Amino acid sequence: MKKKIAVCLTTGVIMVFFIVVNAFAQNDTILKIEPVVAFQGSWEEMGKQTAYYFPDIIIKGALIFTLVFSIDAEEARAHYAEIEDLIPEGIVQQMQGIALGLTEYWNISYDTAWNMVLAWNFGIDINYRHKQEETEQGCTAFAVSSSDGTFLCHNTDNQPGTESMGAAIDYQPDTGENAFLSFFSPGFVGVGIAINEQDIGFTYNVGRPNKSPTNGLPAIFLAREVMAKADTLDEAIAYFEDFLDEGNQFSYQGVNFLLVDFKDNSMARLQICSDDIKITFTEELKEGVYYVACTNHFDDDFSPSPEEDLHDSSHQRYERLMEILPQYETYDLKACWEILSDQGEDGISTNNTICRDGESTDTTLGNIFSSEAAYYAMGKTCDYLEQHGEAQAIQLDAIIQPSISGVVTARGQPLAQAKLEL
C-alpha cells in the first residue's frame, strides 16, 4: 500500500473525491459508494488532511456527543487528562493535527477545535462512564478459511442515517510504519475495520459486559497502533497482552476483535475487558473449513451475561450465525455475502437477523476483506446487494480513487483553500 496516488493539499490545487452528502436520496435509493481517500505524511499532517476534507463529519460527531449526550468540553478535557500518558504519541499527533486543520482551514479557534476532537474521540467512553450504554447497538463478525479462500466479514450495526458519516481512508505514514486502509468515521483516530499492507485484517464489535469497567486507553486506539506496526498475527496479539502485562488498563467499553493474517490464514478472536483479555484461535467448523466468530457478548467463562440478557439480540444473532454458517458447502466470497445478507427463515430483516433491522439499530455497512481486496456494501447488506447487484471492491495493491486535479481561479488568480464536492 505504500505506492499510491498522491493527495495534493497545496494551496490552489484540488483533488476531488467522492463526498457523501446524504445517506439516502428522496426515492430511497441506497447510497452506492463511500468516500475513498488517501492521506500521506506525518500523523499530524494526515490529521490536518482529515480536517480539510471532512470538517462536517467531525463537527457533526462532536455536536452529537455535546448536545445529545451532554458531554461538555470540561468533562472531555478531564477524561483525556486522566489517560493522556497511555495514548501513543502518533495518535496524540493525529488528534492535534485534526484540531490544527479545523483552525487553519475552517477558521475555528484552536480551543474550540480541540474540544471537538476530544468530544468526538472520547464521547463513547464518557457515555459508558455515565452508564448510558445503548444495548441495542452491535455488530456481527466472522472469519472463515477453506480451499475457497480466507475471508474476514463484518456487518456494522448503528443508528439509521449514520451511513453518511463513514469513509475509507488509506493512511500512508512517512514514519516507516505500515500503511493501512481503514473504514471508520473521519476524525475518529481509533481503528475498527481495517487491513494493513502486511495483510493483517481487523474488525471490531462492542463487547459486554465489561466486568471491570474503568477509565483507560480505548482498545480501538491500540488497534490503530497494531495496524501501523504489526506484521504478523502473533505481533498483533502481543500488543494487547503486553499492554495489560505492563499494568495498564483499557477503557470502559469492552470489545470483541477478530484478527486475520492473510499471509498464513491464521485467525483469532480477542475479548477485552478493562483489565483482562481472552484469546481464541481458529476452530474447525467442518473438515477443511476453519472459523472464528462473534457478535457482542462475551463468553461465560470470561465475563458472563446477566440472566435477563441471555435472549438479547447479541445472543440471538450469534445463534443465527452458528445455525447458517455450517450449512454451506462452498465458503467463497458469494457465500460470505449471503451470510451477511441473512434475513432469517421468513426473508424479513429483524433486530436478530444478521442483516439487521431493529427499532433503533440497522445494519449500516457490510465489509469483507480478502488478501486481494476490501469489499463493502452501504446500508443494509441485503438491500444493497438486491439493488446494486454486487458490492464495491477496493483492490489492495492499487487503492486509487477517482479524482480530478486543477487550479480554481477567481478573476484569473488562484483561489486558496477551495473545496469541491462531487
The domain limits of the chain are 138-395
pLDDT of the residue at 33? 86
Q: Is the pTM of this model over 0.95?
A: no
| 389-404 average pLDDT score | 77
Residue found by looking up cell 465475563 in the block? 303
Of the candidates 288, 291, 271, 277, which has an alpha carbon nearest to the alpha carbon of residue 244? Answer: 277
Contact status, residue 126 vs residue 78, Cβ threshold 8 Å = no
Residue range 169-218, pLDDT digits in tens: 999 999 999 999 999 999 999 999 999 999 999 999 999 999 999 999 99
Q: Is residue 299 pLDDT above 60, yes or no?
A: yes
CB atoms closer than 10 angstroms to residue 220: 23
Q: What is the DSSP string of 326-361?
A: GG-S--SHHHHHHHHT--TTTT---TTSSS-B-SS-
Q: Is residue 132 pLDDT above 70, yes or no?
A: no
Which residues in 243-295 belong to E strands, given as ranges? 254-261, 266-272, 277-281, 283-286, 289-294
pLDDT of the residue at 22? 32
The set of long-range contacts for 42-46, using a CB threshold of 8 Å and a minimum separation of 24, is 42/93, 42/97, 42/173, 42/174, 42/175, 43/90, 43/91, 43/93, 43/94, 43/97, 43/173, 43/175, 44/93, 44/94, 44/96, 44/97, 44/100, 45/97, 46/94, 46/97, 46/171, 46/173
Q: Is residue 13 pLDDT above 50, yes or no?
A: no
What whole-number distance in Å separates Cα of residue 226 and Cα of residue 237?
Answer: 9
With the C-alpha atoms ordered 96, 48, 117, 173, is the resulting torsion angle positive or negative? negative
What whole-number distance in Å separates Cα of residue 234 and Cα of residue 230?
Answer: 9
pLDDT of the residue at 164? 77
Residue found by looking up cell 442515517 in the block? 161
pLDDT of the residue at 136? 56
Which carries the bigger pLDDT value, residue 136 or residue 84? Answer: 84
| 325-354 average pLDDT score | 96
Q: Is residue 401 pLDDT above 80, yes or no?
A: no
Q: Is residue 353 pLDDT above 90, yes or no?
A: yes
Strands 167-173 and 36-41: parallel
What whole-number distance in Å separates Cα of residue 370 and Cα of residue 368?
Answer: 7
Of the candidates 378, 390, 354, which has an alpha carbon nearest to the alpha carbon of residue 28? Answer: 378
Q: How confident is the model at residue 348 (pLDDT cuts 50, 70, 90)?
A: very high
Contacts of residue 146, Cβ cutoff 8 Å, sequence gap at least 6 = 288, 289, 290, 331
Q: Is residue 5 pLDDT above 60, yes or no?
A: no
Residue found by looking up cell 438486491 in the block? 386
Mean pLDDT of the chain: 88
Which residues in 111-192 belong to E strands, given as ranges? 138-146, 149-158, 167-173, 180-184
Lowest mean pLDDT among 156-170, 228-242, 286-300: 156-170
Phi, psi of 27 (to 5 degrees): -90, 15
C-alpha cell at 299: 463468553
Domain 138-395 coded CATH 3.60.15.10:
no
Residue range 307-321, pLDDT digits in tens: 777 668 999 999 999
pLDDT of the residue at 270? 98
pLDDT of the residue at 359? 82
C-alpha cell at 373: 481486496
pLDDT of the residue at 344? 92
Write out 172-233 in H/E/C secondary structure.
EECCCCCCEEEEECCCCCCCCEEEECCCEEEEEEEEECCCCCCCCECHHHHHHHHHHHCCCH
